[in-house]
Structure 1
Amino acid sequence: MGKRRHYQRVWLFSGAILLGISLNSITGHAATTAVEPVTTATVTKTVPVTNSETTSSGTKLENKANDEVVPAAKTVTTSETVGSAVAATATSTVADPTSVASQASTSAVAPATSGTAEVASSQSVVGTARLATHAAVVKAPTATQVATITSTTKATAFSHVTAANFLDYFNLNGSATYDATTGIVTITPDKNNQVGNFALKSKIDMNTSFDLTGQVNLGSRTSNNGGADGIGFAFHQGNVSDVGNAGGNLGIGGLMDALGFKLDTWHNDAFMPQAAIPGSQVLPEDSTGYGWAADPKNAQFGGFVTTSLKPILTANGQAYDRWWAETATDSVQDLAAQDLDGRFHDFKVAYDGTSRQLTISFTQTSGQVLTWSKTVPTSDEAMAMIVSASTGGAKNLQQFKLTQFNFQQAATVNVKYVDLTGRQIGQAAVGYPSGAVVDGTYTTTKLTIPNYHFVRLDDGRTTGTVSLATEGTLQQAGDNGSVIYVYAPDYQVSRKVVNETIHYVDEQKQTVAADHIAEPVTFITVKNPLTLETQVYFAHGKQSIPQIDDNGKPVSQVGVQWTAAESTNFAAVTHPDVAGYQVISNDAPDGDLTQLTAQGIDTTSDDLVFTVVYRKDAVDPGKPTDPEKPTDPEKPVDPEKPVDPEKPTDPEKPVDPQKPTVPVTPAQPEIPVVAAALTPSTAQNKATTKTQSGQSLSQKLIPLIPAKTSTKALPQANDAVNGWGVKLGLILLTVLGFVGHSLWRRSR
């Protein structure tokens, strides 16, 4: 009995220990499953790892117990992506090899999401059954190895896009709309002149495989019935936000290093670009400005399209670089007119990251599947994806219906080159020296763009987004942000100086006053090289061309103020006063005789030169200027020569001594001697009175009373000769006056 009880206790103790171990294993497995939720499609591939090989996380996997190399989970580079059930199978297979067989049988009957039932070569794990078979030979890994495998699996998780989360992965642009209940993107409605697209928000890691499964509706009209234009799919090296040119380019032209495919429903002949600027500066909707290459001579077709940077001749005769889209004619396959039936047709894009083979298939109305294949260059490490459609004068309802899209995001950044308004003016690729992977590095380049100069990295003022550094480390899978270079136009500046000069001259063109020289006016015309818009500024004085700021405005300096105006004027100038002269003409347009009025000028004006003419004042007519009249009449011409030599010059010697010489005309008639003492009546009463000599007094007095006052005669040249006669006359007059006065008193 003792032994029996002893064995019972040992068994009971052993059972408790085994039960504890089992519970611990179950709890640990549950915890591992919780840490690694299967929310995205994940595929791992087991490959032999040599002693020198490491996983993507850099950890070498070795079995320490027996020094045997154990297969480790490694990032898929060749397999086709499968669903979440496959990912769960792959994870559990590595963690618990004892259950591989049962999981493999379960997975083999599961619905294949992208060819999971197919068996690939030993270098490519395509389905779950293949993965399980390959994993069945794996020995149980150690705990360290399981942890490493789990970490590596997380790093290589794929994104799984469905109708439910479509908008988490894609941006809609233009006329594109999305219906989440059906998974249908209406790229263009059945209207004229529509442009729409949807673009993936992150780039695809082209070192891994991806698949896109869905359906397309090309519309219900062929080109003969007014249908257009078709749907284009493009993978390119540009930014995830880049949009290709519409119209004849079907959203592919203008994308950098693009590998595209199009279902084209409208034939386009070649069209010369109308915009004489680089293609990167042409707006996506300006299809005629960008131009396009000729389509093959097919009514409707499918085929690959690529873009390459080349100079394209524009309408003005100059060539400008464009990412020019051209159809690979050897890839063209006709679509039937019945394929434009207004219904959805199966459409699939599959890419093998190992062979780098891109395969596209389209199911026609007849049930025939058309397939196109192309190899992707190894230089394309990470590519953006966009799906576009457009209409013009002809139209169609054009749609894409998503079933699923499985891909791995690359770690990337965008690089943008914009002007001060945020408009794109250049394109360039980002470099990834160590690959487009997390913790890798990126580099960008500052471009030299004609007619522009670099200003700054965007601080948010231009695009609303703060730029990343020009180079740095990739922090996460997907889009890490944008490096934004901001440029300002190299404004073209022309200069003109206008002067004003006024001359003051007389009628003989002789200067009568100093010239007036006004302060010059300097005009500058600033031209935007992109928009060709111009703005005129002026400043006073003769100025040199000023510095132009990033907005095209002149920078004013001390003492120099630039004013935005098309024209200005020279101030009015009053004519100067010139002694003895008066203004008679002014050749300015208004001919003002008091001033030269304000003169308007602009950039077309030549130097202004005016002449003001003066004339001498007229002479005063009240002042005679006759030189023939003597200025001093008191001086005789020749006092020694008598005027009449026949007349004696000596009045003291009369011819008849009995008759004294009495001048008939007194020398000074204005001073009568007798007339002052006699009244007319007295003179008449005494008319008969006689002097002693027998002559009547009246005869003596008559010459003394002038008949009327005459103008004073001018002195004559012989007045001095007759001086004695004048004296004798005065004496006689005195005597006669005295005698007359005596007689008058006696008579009383």
Structure 2
Amino acid sequence: MSFSKNRLLFAFLLLGSVSTISAGIMLTDPINMSAEASQVGTKANARDVTINGDDYASNFTANGEGVIAGNTATLTPDQQNKAGNTVLNTKIDMTQSFSLKGKVDLGNKSQAQGGADGMSFIFQPGDTDVIGKLGGAMGFGGVKGSFGFKLDTFYNGDDGDGYTADPTFFADSDGGKPAAFGAFVNGTTGVADTLDETAQQIAEPSNNEFKDIEIDFDGTSRQMTVTYDGKVWDITSQIGTETNMSFAIAASTGSFRNLQQFQLESFSYTVAQGTVKSHYVDENGQTIADDVEQSGDLGDSWQTEAKVIPGYTLKEVQGNDETGYYKANDQSVTYVYTRDQGAADVTYVDDTTGKTLVTDDLQGNSGDKSEYTTGKTIKDYEDKGYELVSDDFPTKGLTFAPDMQHYTVHLKHRTTPVNPENPGEPGTPINPTDPDGPKWPEGTDKDSLTKSVTETIHYIYEDGSKASEDVIDTVSFGHELVVDNVTGEIIIDNGWSKIDKDYFDQKNSPEINDYSPNKSEVAEINGITPDSKDVEETVVYTKNLTTPIDPVDPTEPELPGNNAETGEVTGKNLTQVMADQKNADSLPRTDMNTTSVLSFLGILIAVSGVTGYYAFGVERKD
């Protein structure tokens, strides 16, 4: 494939019914397009027309780079990578003869001078508004059933997308350089295949010279003859039995370029009648009755009708309406039938709203068993927050009967209570199996469903310093809401309730030595509600008033007859003194008792004074 011809080329892509062009080749019948084309001024039963040059623009449509001015169409400017065409607005009746006369300007440069690509005259059985393949396909590639003639000014030595290689003879037949040539092209299979046996060399483009061309077709012998630049091409073997053909004149450039134009002198042909085909199919698209084809002059009205087909009932009409007007392109009406059968329906009802969720219509031959079950649909609704109430569909399956059968499945909205123990998570799916379904609404999280009232008691001294740790008590309340799992709405508000208690019990003030609280207790508080304010109490401790006792310095007694050293009086010393006194037999007995008593009293006073002094000093808080 040459780089030059790998460019856009406007042509026609087959979308209509296609029969054979070459004997022995059968093609499929793609779906028709319903594009309208312009109409010439024909009359019923008088479809023979002659278009003169001045009628070019009113009977052809230019596409791409194509421009029609007067009797001349510029298909490509002398620029790279351009493509254009002109398309006849009606189809040609190929059962009748036609004659096209005009002039062709292929440009001013040969391939060796940078010129390309050439011009094509394309006939194809599809609609008039389709576009075909690119480059070397010359407008034939990709158009099944296409056929025509080309003036090729660029040699393609290899197969490419939508075309086969040009005849090797023209690779270097112009003094060792590629030569321009004319040939018929068969595009029956959608691949542009140059018919080598019809190829003849033509003069290279020069000076934008317009040269005469004439294409004649004999509707009886089905021979096509092309006369150009003093040479004649004719063919019959490749022309099939197609009765109506679309027609286009196309050209393109690639990296090589030329100004390429076509000048119309006259075109005499018979306008093809429009056709409407009625198809009769079942729901699977299978034909159940023969097609009916109608033809008529363009603009005339037509009407189709359904057939009565035993064992079937008409379901719908597809495609065009049953009435219309003939157009250049084929039209079709498709009647779709269903078999006569038993019928049933299953209705799913939302008991919460009373509305029908969906109704499944079931059809089948009477006596046949349906494969339908309600399980999947019920599961789908349960995933969306519903719960099953009842299902009267037969548990062993449905058998179709002549009479209509009705079944009902009842469902209701599942609801979920939310509270501090079972909160929601706003913004997340209520139903885990339905991630795109309703979300938990605001106010259903644990924090929103919980309220607390706090009692705080502070224990301080008069100077504000802490006397004891605070005592904190809390009363908590929970809010319960009921959420609809289907809609995500809050449908019931059960209000607030205590979680364990609704009061603050009595709090006794702690005891602190030498201090007294201004409140011996904080009384019990009853009737706490979610709207109650927090409670804060302060207990103040004041120092107890006391009378200080002055200590008496003790005088160490001197015991008669005792050589004990003076020092601190202790219990041990006292015991020792008493023992010594008891054993002093040498002392006079009369004086001993008196002295002993006085000494003992003195010691007791001294010990009491010392003990009182230290005790008072330890207990006193400075």
> Structure 1-normalised TM-score?
0.37
In terms of fraction of residues, the more strand-rich structure is 2
